[in-house]
Amino acid sequence: MPWKFDYLIVGAGFSGLVMAERITNTLGKTCLVVEKRDHIGGNAHDEYSDAGVLYHPYGPHYFRTNSPKIKEYLSRFTEWHEVKYQVSSFTEGRYWSFPINLKTFEQLIGRESTTEEFEAWIAEKRVPIDEPVNSEEVIISQVGQELYKKFFEGYTLKQWRRHPRDLDKSVCGRIPIRTNRDDRYLREEFQALPKHGYRVLFRNLARACGNKLKILLNTDYREVCQNVDFEHLVFTGAIDEFYDYKFGRLPYRSLRFEVESFEPTQLRERVDISGKQGFWQPTLQVNYPNEHDYTRIVEMKHATGQATDNSTIVREFPEDFGPGKEPYYPIPAADSATIYRQYEEMAKQEKKVTFVGRLATYRYYNMDQVVGMALKRFEDMAKPAVV
């Protein structure tokens, strides 16, 4: 006899668990969440290394938002630890302030400067392009070729295995460029991490559903579909996989991570580099835009504020997507957009399936945008049922 649930939800990341919480608590319906990994939280999952350091095994997840609604919603499930995310770029044998700001310019010219001098320098260097159409144009139109090549071109080639001129302008355009000394990595007003980690946030989301939620881990949804009687499917996986690659495979970039931990004796040797005791590198994230195989190294202890003498870093290596690889980044380019539009048209015809999340909509979203999408998708899906 098959299980009976009102909703089957594929994926236990932000999209799936926000949908489950809304469905169970607003509609009073039951949900079965099926997750292929051995934990909830998707790529935003965090855990403790062997050295006892909280880190992000699937790459850094820097929460930020300008939406009071999203902050208020998530604050029901977590307290916050506000953070100033700081990033450096290591190239030409030195650490540079990044994103580009007045401090970066001062490093370039070897002396103190002013916003006015930097803006005048940029005015001479920038390439006048009224309407940039790709990632190369969006950067050279702002700061010119020298800084573009120093910080963007090599990094983008490694990360995407495509030239910046072949990628949508949003790829590099997401990075702010400032002419003052504001060296914050991100623009959003609220920047914070869950005070006790993402694991606690996700656990609280699941617990809020009470006995109306069941979660199956280490499970492929296709293995249980035949044994579950449900009214509606919420799908957060890859949309091309859902449709058995009818229009071909959508391109993705994958990642490989190397985790390394350090004891206090090892970290003492890094003080000259990190600038402070107990850390391996000078900032939370260091980008490597040129000769290194990895694109960045992340040391989450800078952001979490965890009181420990040890530290853990994660090196991030871009990889081609293929069998056995996770699809981390949809590739924002013209050819992939053409393929996705065909899947999107099929998805629009579905009456009993709701697609939500990065992979299901083939878009690069920040976490707050994913939460916002899930809340909106729920509202749209539930309209006939809500009085």
How far is it, in rounded angstroms, from Cα 141 to Cα 173? Answer: 11
By three-state DSSP, how is residue 226 classified? helix
Query: What DSSP element (H or E) covers 372?
Result: helix 367-382
- The verdict on 125 and 236 lying in the same domain is no
Q: Is 167 among the domain residues?
A: yes
Sequence-separated (6 or more) residues with CB below 8 Å from residue 169: 132, 133, 134, 135, 137, 138
List of E strands, the chain: 3-10, 31-34, 47-48, 54-55, 64-65, 80-82, 87-91, 94-98, 190-194, 213-216, 228-235, 252-262, 285-287, 296-298, 311-320, 329-330, 353-355
For residues 169 and 104, membership in a common domain is answered with: yes
Same domain as 345, residue 229: yes
DSSP 152-209: IIHHHHHHHSS-GGGS-THHHHTS---SSS--BS---SEEEEETT-HHHHHHHHHHTT
Structural domain that includes position 302: 253-320
**Cross-strand pairs, 4:** 229
- Quick one: pLDDT at residue 384? 65
Q: Which residue among 173, 204, 230 closes a domain?
A: 173
pLDDT one-digit tens code per residue, 56-97 = 999 999 999 999 999 999 999 999 999 999 999 999 999 999
Q: Are residues 212 and 130 in the same domain?
A: no
pLDDT digits 0-9 by tens, 1-33? 578 999 999 999 999 999 999 999 999 999 999
Burial of 178 (0-12, 13-18, 19+ CB in 10 A): middle
236 and 270 belong to one structural domain? no
Asked if pLDDT for residue 162 goes beyond 70, the answer is yes
Q: Are 210 and 299 in contact (CB under 8 A)?
A: no
- Cα separation, 332 vs 355, in Å, equals 19
For residue 305, tell me if it sits in a domain. yes
**Are residue 234 and residue 220 in the same domain, yes or no?**
yes
- pLDDT higher than threshold 60 for residue 369: yes
% of the chain with per-residue pLDDT over 90: 91
The verdict on 114 and 231 lying in the same domain is: no
Q: What is the largest CA-CA distance in the chain?
A: 76
Burial class of residue 166, CB neighbours in 10 A (0-12, 13-18, 19+): middle
Instruction: Answer yes or no: is 58 within a domain.
Output: yes
What integer is the mean pLDDT of 277-289? 96
Q: How many domains does the chain have?
A: 3
Which residues are CB-contacts of 90 (< 8 A; sequence separation ≥ 6)? 96, 286, 287, 288
Domain identity same for 106 and 166: yes
Look at residue 387 in the predicted model and tell me its pLDDT.
42
| Residue-wise pLDDT tens digits, 251-282 | 999 999 999 999 999 999 898 887 888 999 99
In a domain, residue 185? The reply is no
Residue 284 · residue 275 · CB < 8 Å: no
| Per-residue model confidence (pLDDT) at position 355 | 97
Single out the residue in 140, 173, 206 at which a domain terminates.
Answer: 173
Shared domain check, 338 and 276 = no
**Residue 39: exposure state from Cβ atoms within 10 A (0-12, 13-18, ≥19):** middle
**Which DSSP state fits 335?**
H
Predicted confidence (pLDDT) at residue 386 exceeds the cutoff of 50:
no
- The verdict on residue 85 lying in a domain is no
Let me know whether 259 and 110 are in one domain: no
- Note the pTM of the prediction, 2 decimals: 0.94
| 332-368 pLDDT tens trace | 999 999 999 999 999 999 999 999 999 999 999 999 9
Same domain, 132 and 160: yes
**Residues comprising the chain, all counted:** 387
Q: Does one domain contain both 156 and 246?
A: no
Q: Which position has the token pair 């499917």?
A: 233
Q: What is the pLDDT of residues 319-341, one digit of tens each?
A: 999 988 999 999 999 999 999 99
Average pLDDT value for the chain: 95
What is the C-alpha end-to-end distance of the chain, expressed in Å? 33
| Residue 240 maps to a domain | yes
Residue 242 lies in a domain: yes
Residue 356 lies in a domain: yes
Q: What are the beta bridge partners of residue 33?
A: 9, 215
In the numeric block, the tokens 């920047």 are attached to 191
Domain boundary pick from 320, 351, 374: 320
> What is the Cα–Cα distance from 320 to 75, expressed in whole angstroms?
37
> What CATH number is given to the structural domain containing 23?
3.40.50.720
